[in-house]
């Protein structure tokens, strides 16, 4: 299982979310960390830049898989309009 790291911006957004939404987002992130190179529903590779996008309802999670450090780096979390 890969470790999870958050950027400052992502951790602030996660902390400001309602508790029930935060729990769902954290659950989806944990599922990705269990097998980051596997197929996940609602996860796609980004076009034109490195990383992946995970769709969780109306929220988007932008993340990168860093194999050398066995880490999933959560770059950004936000609503669809804020992330892109």
Show contacts of 50-59: CB within 8 Å, 24+ apart.
Answer: 51/75, 53/83, 54/28, 54/29, 56/24, 56/25, 56/28, 57/21, 57/24, 59/17, 59/21, 59/25
**pTM of the entire predicted model:** 0.92
Instruction: Render pLDDT for 19-35 as a digit per residue (tens, 0 to 9).
Output: 999 999 999 999 999 99
Q: Which residue range forms the structural domain that includes residue 24?
A: 3-83
* Count of structural domains within the chain: 1
Q: Please name the residue that has the structure tokens 């979310």.
A: 17
CATH, residue 21? 3.30.2310.20
Task: Say yes or no to pLDDT of 84 above 80.
Answer: no
Task: Say yes or no to pLDDT of 81 above 90.
Answer: no
Where residue 20 falls (left for φ over 0; alpha for ψ -120 to 50; beta otherwise) is alpha
């Amino acid at each position: 299982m890969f470790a999870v790291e958050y950027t400052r911006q992502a951790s602030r957004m996660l902390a400001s979310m309602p508790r029930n939404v935060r729990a769902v987002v954290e659950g989806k992130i944990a599922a990705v960390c269990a097998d980051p190179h596997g197929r996940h529903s609602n996860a796609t590779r980004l076009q034109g830049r490195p990383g992946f996008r995970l769709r969780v309802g109306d929220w988007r999670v932008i993340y990168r898989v860093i194999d050398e450090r066995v880490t999933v780096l959560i770059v950004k979390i936000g609503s669809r309009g804020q992330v892109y």
